[in-house]
């Protein structure tokens, strides 16, 4: 089972900031900004490449959850970045779809290093 599925099942600890029947959000273990939250579907979807038409509503829901968390964590007005990595060139390390929510400081231009 993947790391994020273990978090969903409560088998690994996480600092959870949001949870409903389809989605979970928790603080990244190695934050790259003052606010760095990962928002994941509970369903194990490995990458963006694995999304199907049936996931369209779920992905829309995830963005509404991101909006809600950004407001609750106080970064909605100052601004934030939402990022998804896919496969090796995208720098994906965990193969369970996740949306990085980053903010709390000026993040500068889009990073490509
Ligand atoms: P990615 O490179 O897009 O696959 O990002 C994976 C992210 O998951 C990285 O930012 C890691 O710091 C984070 N991460 C890995 N393991 C955990 C964990 N157990 N709890 C929270 N975040 C984690
Ligand atoms: Zn998983």
User: What tens digit of pLDDT does each residue of 10-25 get?
Assistant: 999 999 999 999 999 9
- The continuous run of DSSP H or E covering 59 comes out as helix 56-72
Average pLDDT, the chain: 97
Tokens of 72: 């609750």
State how far the alpha carbon of 110 is from the alpha carbons of 48, 63, 81, 88, 97, in Å: 20, 20, 9, 18, 21
Among residues 11, 69, 73, the alpha carbon closest in space to that of 40 is found at 69
Cα separation, 1 vs 101, in Å, equals: 24
Region 15-40 average pLDDT: 98
Nearest ligand for residue 5 CA? 2
Q: Which domains does the chain have, with CATH numbers?
A: 3-103 (3.30.428.10)
Ligand 1 mean position, distance from CA 39 (Å): 11
- Is any atom of ligand 1 closer than 6 Å to the C-beta of 28? yes
End-to-end CA distance of the chain: 31
The per-residue pLDDT for 36 is 98
Q: What percentage of the chain carries pLDDT values higher than 70? A: 97
pLDDT score of 66 more than 70: yes
The per-residue pLDDT for 56 is 98
Q: What is the dihedral of CA 86, 87, 90, 95, to 10 degrees?
A: 60
- Is any atom of ligand 1 closer than 6 Å to the C-beta of 47? no
- Of the listed ranges 31-35, 72-76, 106-110, the least confidently predicted one is 106-110
To the question of pTM greater than 0.85 for the whole model, the response is yes
pLDDT score of 113 more than 70: no
- Is any atom of ligand 1 closer than 6 Å to the C-beta of 5? no
């Amino acid at each position: 089972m993947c790391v994020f599925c273990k978090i969903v099942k409560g088998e690994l600890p996480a600092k959870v900031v949001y949870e409903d029947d389809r989605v979970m959000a928790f603080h990244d273990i190695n934050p790259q900004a003052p606010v760095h939250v990962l928002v994941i579907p509970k369903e194990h979807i490995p990458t963006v490449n694995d999304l199907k038409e049936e996931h369209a509503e779920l992905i829309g829901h995830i963005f509404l959850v991101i909006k809600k968390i950004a407001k609750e964590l106080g970064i909605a007005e100052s601004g934030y970045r939402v990022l998804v990595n896919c496969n090796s060139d995208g720098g994906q390390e965990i193969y369970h779809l996740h949306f990085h929510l980053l903010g709390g400081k000026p993040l500068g231009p889009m990073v490509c290093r």
